[in-house]
Structure 1
Amino acid sequence: NGNSNNQPKSLRNLGLLSGICLIVGTMIGSGIFISPKAVLEGTGAVGPCLCVWAACGVLATLGALCYAELGTMITKSGGAYPYLMEGYGPVLAYLYSWMTVFVLKPSAFAILSLSCAEYASTPFYPECTPPVIISKCLAAAFILLIVLVNCLSVKLASYVQNFFTAAKLLIIFIIVVSGIVMLAQGNTQNFKNSFEGAATSFGAIGLAFYNGMWAFDGWNQLNFITEELKDPYRDLPLAIMFGIPLVSVCYVLVNVAYFSVLTPTELLQSPAVAVTYGDRVLYPVSWLVPLFVVFSTFGAANGSCFTAGRLIHVAAREGHMVKILSYISSKYYSPAPALIFNGILAIFYIIPADINTLINYFSFAQWFFYCLTSLSLIIMRFTRKELKRPLKVSFIPVTVPIIIPVVVVIVSCYLVLAPIIDKPEFEYLYCTVFIVGGMIFYYPFVHRKFSWTRRVMSE
């Protein structure tokens, strides 16, 4: 194994197709199949619900274009971490890695694995809900399998991602085509007067966007593996410009298909919308839906693990995590210690009864860092003019639209504040205290580098 100062470089063996599959495969998890009702609850009607899904796709694309310029300007893996490091210095970069490494990445990995386990075990318990212990043990097994695959081969992990992305696009295609058939047969009653009863409050629309963007989460995943792309200057922006609009169109069309069969009330009452839809439209092959939900969640969990390992590795390489987490396998060229660490944390997150609440409260902090990252792009346009910029955040080949990162910054601020204003709760304060509390470890172990830590912390 190498170390932070003398380590083998990760092989650049991921091409454009793998990049698109990573974006699509990570963004499309279980949410669009299980319960897209949160957006409908926030908007109150079918018309604005579809508008919010489309607007979320536009926002995700704009944010990803900002990340595309940052990724081609600073060609380091780790997502927002290296951009925050260049834009603001080590403290904010450390706090981002602290929050993401210890909460967001492993808990998201755990949630996806639990969703996969629940759907995989359901056929064996046709008359009842699978026992919790069975679901949790199966989820732990999925986590161990995914970590093993990612440790043994970057290419194998990429092939797994490509396969499961193709599988989830297939079931989306089936749902969309069947929805078009239902519409052609005259099932359009849910689209008549579709804006009646729409919610108009600041908080309600904000929460609808908030939940919609949660389903789009993953639009920045390719920036976590920039160092492993064959040609990041070409593949990063192209994968973003193909992948995110593809997901956006899929999400809107799938929701249209749902509303061709289910009334808004039925959709809100359904525990798993795609399964309810399949039972009504795809019988006798409705079993395909839960099967492909398993494929979808497994692929999303694999993508989450793949990118989490790169963030942990880069943070450790910069001295913000324990030194051993910066090692790369000299045989498999994978950040094995970082992947294993993420897997261990994910297994711990499986133990609590419900961690979805935790994720929801920490998401507002994630948007805070999205805001800072987009703002860093604006700042570095003026402070780091010497950096090479192979891509501009614009389709016009000149240094213009600062308007794009400005829009992303404004909307990010809105998404941070909207849920807190609409429903202020102490949990947001607890999350903030946890994030800022990371400074307790930063000051002695990273900034001061106490002598007894120098053997385990990188210089």
Structure 2
Amino acid sequence: MEETSLRKRREDRKSTQSHEPKTTSLQKEVGLLSSICIIVGTIIGSGIFISPKAVLSNTGAVGPCLIIWAACGMLATLGALCYAELGTMITKSGGEYSYLMEAFGPIPAFLFSWTSLFIIKPSSFAIICLSFSEYTAAPFYPGCSPPQVVVKCLAAAAILLIITVNALSVRLGSYVQNVFTAAKLVIVAIIVISGLVLLAQGNTKNFENSFESSKLSVGAISLAFYNGLWPYDGWNQLNYITEELKNPFRNLPLAIIIGIPLVTVCYILMNISYFTVMTMTELLQSQAVAVTYGDRVLYPASWVVPVFVAFSTIGAANGTCFTAGRLVYVAGREGHMLKVLSYISVRRLTPAPAIIFYGIIAIIYIIPGDINSLVNYFSFAAWFFYGLTTLALIVMRFTRKELERPIKVPIVIPILVTLMSVALVLAPIISKPAWEYLYCAIFILSGLIFYFLFVHYKFGWAQKISKPITMHLQMLMEVVPPEGAPE
């Protein structure tokens, strides 16, 4: 009787525990497959369908063009390996923000969150959604460019849809990412396989004398890297959700080792496919390289190309939103942004305020912006902080020796990535000076004013303004501070 009673009490206790609600904190629900899909899905977006022309125009020949694509993939992999050490050493969400905080203190971390919140992440989100809307609208306006009003309205609608999905559920966001990653791999496979078939049939004319007329100047090569690295952007996205990864010590580096080389191989093979049916001149004159390829190879089924390219871009936008919302969440949690941005939805257990705020900023960018200007702003700011982050890894090898490092890359790798980042930041300024780089630098430095006014000194009048805003937004959105955080 006593054993039966004891067994019953244990079963009742287990039943009670199984029905306990989850705590109001981010949950570990992202496994290895979803991690790989986030990397692949975020990297493969609009870039591979936009950048081939820019890379080719700067290299001037097929051979150097393919080498640049491979070198960009190698640089992205090396950068991601540096981030793998950082991500397993400092297991906090927020990516660069958390690493800069540990290495250099609050000011560089704040400047990164400031720049990411207002330049890097929303401009990237806006670029991808604008690309999605252009490919989506193109079939309805044959022979001419779609009206800008239509393009921008479609991009805004895509942003609203994506932030809604990610604010509703972490698991739903992961499922959407997996589905669209599968869809984009379909179009990649179609282009790669058909290109290899054409290559096997002897369509190699465009690869003859592939290094003739190449441009070997430092400026041209730097600009080719600049454009080639844009399609690889996203290699660091998994570090933003470290707190939500299952077994991050294993899954983070494994996802990087599988995901980025997979993307690199796909990019090289897709460029080879393009060159099997297009000469250099034809590729440079094409308005949409993948669409031109589809018209020549897949007709009458060429309509599948713009459809699947749209899937590819919307999947990349979803992955960007999924990870970038966590950066805003961490910045709010550290007190570097409004506290309400670090709050968690009571019902959905997602950083809904951060995701919604991020989407609003991206929509603002869409109104006056175009893809080229946004890419310039994004690349200049992004590679400045990528270099600063790998420098932080080097610094912490000497200043934070006590930290456990489940993954430890050779010191030469972060040194190389840091030097390449410096070159990428300076190259466009030296080769082709433009006002937008100065504006971007001024905006980054202007974050110091806001840091000292609202974060460091915390003037009373600023607190009086922020507290009622936080209270009303908290009630409106039904959000609470994450468990263990100060109210």
Where on the TM-score scale, by shorter chain, does this alignment land: which range? over 0.9
The answer to whether the 8 Å contact 2:376/2:436 transfers is no
How far apart are residue 192 of structure 1 and its match? 0.8
Q: Which residue, 385, 388, 406 being the options, matches 2:401?
A: 385
AA aligned opposite 2:87: G
What residue ranges of structure 1 are gaps of 5+ in the alignment? 1-6, 394-400
Corresponding position of 1:431: 440
How many angstroms apart in 1 are the aligned matches of 2:374 and 2:126? 12
AA aligned opposite 2:171: K
Are 1:307 and 2:323 matched, yes or no?
Answer: yes
The answer to whether the 8 Å contact 1:76/1:226 transfers is yes
Q: Which residue, 113, 122, 135 being the options, matches 1:97?
A: 113
How many angstroms apart in 2 are the aligned matches of 1:366 and 1:412? 9
How far apart are residue 88 of structure 1 and its match? 0.4
Map 1:331-370 → 2, pairs under 5 A: 331-370=347-386
AA aligned opposite 2:377: Y
TM-score, L = length of structure 2: 0.89
Corresponding position of 1:446: 455
How many angstroms apart in 2 are the aligned matches of 1:206 and 1:444? 38
Report the 3-state secondary structure (helix = DSSP H, G, I; strand = E; otherwise coil) of the residue aligned with 2:344: coil
Q: More deviation in 299-308 or 108-117? A: 108-117
How far apart are residue 329 of structure 1 and its match? 1.1
The answer to whether the 8 Å contact 1:73/1:387 transfers is yes
How many angstroms apart in 2 are the aligned matches of 1:141 and 1:333? 24
The answer to whether the 8 Å contact 1:104/1:362 transfers is yes
1:295–1:327: structure 2 CA closer, same or farther, 3 Å change rule? same
Are 1:131 and 2:147 matched, yes or no?
Answer: yes
How many angstroms apart in 2 are the aligned matches of 1:128 and 1:39? 25
Corresponding position of 2:213: 197
1:425–1:121: structure 2 CA closer, same or farther, 3 Å change rule? closer
AA aligned opposite 2:361: L
Corresponding position of 1:145: 161
How far apart are residue 386 of structure 1 and its match? 1.0
Report the 3-state secondary structure (helix = DSSP H, G, I; strand = E; otherwise coil) of the residue aligned with 1:438: helix
AA aligned opposite 1:354: D
Report the 3-state secondary structure (helix = DSSP H, G, I; strand = E; otherwise coil) of the residue aligned with 2:345: coil
Are 1:410 and 2:426 matched, yes or no?
Answer: no
How many angstroms apart in 2 are the aligned matches of 1:153 and 1:385? 38
How far apart are residue 307 of structure 1 and its match? 1.1
What residue ranges of structure 2 are gaps of 5+ in the alignment? 1-22, 468-485
> Cα deviation per residue 1:13-62 (whole Å; 9 max; x = unaligned)?
00001000001111011121234111111111000100010011111000
AA aligned opposite 1:281: V
Q: How many residues align?
A: 446
Q: More deviation in 143-152 or 448-457? A: 448-457
* TM superposition outliers: structure 1 runs of 4+ over 4 Å: none
How many angstroms apart in 2 are the aligned matches of 1:380 and 1:77? 18
The answer to whether the 8 Å contact 2:51/2:227 transfers is no
How far apart are residue 355 of structure 1 and its match? 4.9
Corresponding position of 1:258: 274
Corresponding position of 1:419: 428
> Cα deviation per residue 1:80-122 (whole Å; 9 max; x = unaligned)?
1100000100101111111111112112212211221222223
1:427–1:127: structure 2 CA closer, same or farther, 3 Å change rule? closer
> Cα deviation per residue 1:304-333 (whole Å; 9 max; x = unaligned)?
111110000001111111111010112211
TM-score, L = length of structure 1: 0.95
How many angstroms apart in 1 are the aligned matches of 2:436 and 2:154? 30
How far apart are residue 365 of structure 1 and its match? 2.4
Corresponding position of 1:62: 78
How many angstroms apart in 2 are the aligned matches of 1:365 and 1:349? 16
The answer to whether the 8 Å contact 1:107/1:355 transfers is no
The answer to whether the 8 Å contact 1:70/1:83 transfers is yes
How many angstroms apart in 1 are the aligned matches of 2:106 and 2:60? 43
Corresponding position of 2:258: 242
> Cα deviation per residue 1:143-182 (whole Å; 9 max; x = unaligned)?
1111110011100110100111111111111101111111
CA RMSD of aligned residues (A): 1.4
How far apart are residue 427 of structure 1 and its match? 2.2
How many angstroms apart in 2 are the aligned matches of 1:283 and 1:157? 34
The answer to whether the 8 Å contact 1:26/1:301 transfers is yes
How many angstroms apart in 1 are the aligned matches of 2:108 and 2:374? 22
The answer to whether the 8 Å contact 1:28/1:215 transfers is yes
The answer to whether the 8 Å contact 2:123/2:378 transfers is no
Q: Which has the larger radius of gyration?
A: 2
Map 1:10-89 → 2, pairs under 5 A: 10-89=26-105
* Identity value in percent: 69
